[in-house]
Structure 1
Amino acid sequence: MRLTRRFLFLVALGSAAAWYGQNVLRFRDPVRVPPPQAGAVLSPADGLVTFVRRIEDGKVEFPAAPLDIPRLTGVEAGEGWLLGLFVGPLDVRHGYAPTGGTARTVHWGGSRGSASLAEAHTAARLLVGLPADLLGTPGLTRNERHTTVLLQEAGDLGVTLVGGRGGLGAVTYARPGAEIRAGHKLAFLGRSGLVLLTLPANAVPQVSVGDRVTGAETVVALFG
């Protein structure tokens, strides 16, 4: 009888935690104050940096095959940088504008729920805060993606939301032609997943793989 009661208590506790995470925790909207730093590029989301890779001739070199950045993100980037941020289940689910600029939105390729973003062991590493490279996962190129491009004088930037096996599940706020300020909310991510930041060549990354970043507050790059 005691074991049955303990089991039922643990089931009830787990159900309550799942309900809280699904219906309360993921909808939190903390106040974010962007730092007043000239030339700063802010993190577009909360999460863990999984890769920082150079873009050359519109591609990121990878052992399997080079990644075509315009095809992946919708950003016409010949030279620059590609940053990947893993947004975990306990992270704030809002996406933020890394800089100010004029918005251009692109729903760019992929299909809903076609592939996982990470194998089980890779996902486990990410969930405990250990770095794991998601650049070569099938879900990166196969899954549904949405990009907001910010057009500005210093160079265009792109924030790409990549869906997992369950789809993208995101709501985007920016509309084409809208003037966006740095740190303003761009989207709400219904699920954890991957956020890509495409930077022009004159932006120098300030973070490394394994760093924890805070959306709209952490400076991830500086314009030179």
Structure 2
Amino acid sequence: MRLPRRFPLLAALAAGVWYLRSVYRFRDPVRLPATQDAGAVLSPADGLVSFVRRIENGGVEGLKVAELLGTTQREGWLLGLHVGPLDVHFTYAPAQGTVLNAGHKPGQSLGVPLTDAAQMLLGRPADLLESDALARNERYSYAVQRPDGQTLTVGLVGLERGLQATTYLSEGQSVRQGNKAAFLAEGGLVLLALPASLTPQVSVGEHVRGAETVVAR
């Protein structure tokens, strides 16, 4: 029986999808922080910078930071990183310190608009700050208090398939910069809230590497 001409192409495509979901997304590269700058904050994940916004009076463009991340931070910066299917799915502690307020918050599994999803697949940033998924979806968040007293808060937000995160940190635990924090089986959005004393070092559209790229000083 003669197979359709399209069969080899379809078989190769199916094999590629299987490899991506069953093997490639579970890769665990060695990540060793290269900087010796004690004030530097490293990226908590691989991904595309979706937004860099000021936190003013406890909010960002109408969204309350307390609702997004469970923090009472009033001023500073909020960074959003989209972890896509080709990115490493492990996330990392952005700084050395003590873990505070680690916890899970249930929610929905909304996806992002198709136009935004298409842009991100092409490696272009989409402002996910305006997506309903950011405010309403399932999430996990934790804070790290550095030895200098400054506190950084990280949030992991699931998208259309839910959070599906395996977390490795617990409240009161001491972590080193670059320690694994969680594994995002389906990727998602990673938020990083910075105090006002720190200055972001990345811009929208930049691709960052977890535990390596300096995102703030």
After TM superposition, the score normalised by the length of structure 1 is 0.92
Letter in 2 for 1:50: S
Identity rate of aligned residues, in percent?
Answer: 52
Change in Cα spacing, 1:78 to 1:108, as seen in structure 2 (3 Å) is farther
In the alignment, is residue 151 of structure 1 matched against residue 150 of structure 2?
Answer: no
CA contact (8 A) 1:110 1:142 kept: no
Could you tell me which of 180, 189, 200 is aligned with 1:185? Answer: 180
Give 1:130's match in structure 2, choosing from 102, 111, 124.
124
Range that drifts further, 123-132 or 87-96: 123-132
User: 1:175 deviation in Å?
Assistant: 1.0
- Letter in structure 2 aligned against 1:111: G
What is the Cα deviation at residue 27 of structure 1?
A: 0.6
- Report the count of equivalent residues: 215
List runs of 5+ in structure 1 lacking aligned partners.
none
TM-score by length of 2: 0.95
State the AA in 2 paired with 1:55.
I
Select 2:65's aligned residue among 69, 72, 97.
69
In 1, the alpha carbon distance for the partners of 2:106 and 2:30 equals 33
1:101–1:147 Cα change, 3 Å? same
Trace 1:69-108 onto structure 2 (pairs within 5 A): 69-108=65-104
Query: In structure 2, what is the Cα distance between the partners aligned to 1:136 and 1:100?
Result: 31
Aligned to 1:8: 7
Q: Which SS does the other structure have where 1:99 is aligned?
A: coil
Confirm or deny: 8 A CA contact 2:55 2:75 kept in the other structure.
yes
Q: For residue 92 of structure 2, what is the amino acid of its counterpart?
A: Y
Per the alignment, residue 30 of structure 1 pairs with 29
- Tell me the SS of whatever aligns to 2:128: coil
| Residue of structure 1 equivalent to 2:202 | 207
Q: Which amino acid aligns with 1:133?
A: D
1:108 and 1:171, CA in 2 relative to 1: closer, same or farther beyond 3 A? closer
State the distance in 2 between where 1:93 and 1:85 align. 12
Shift of 1:105: 4.2
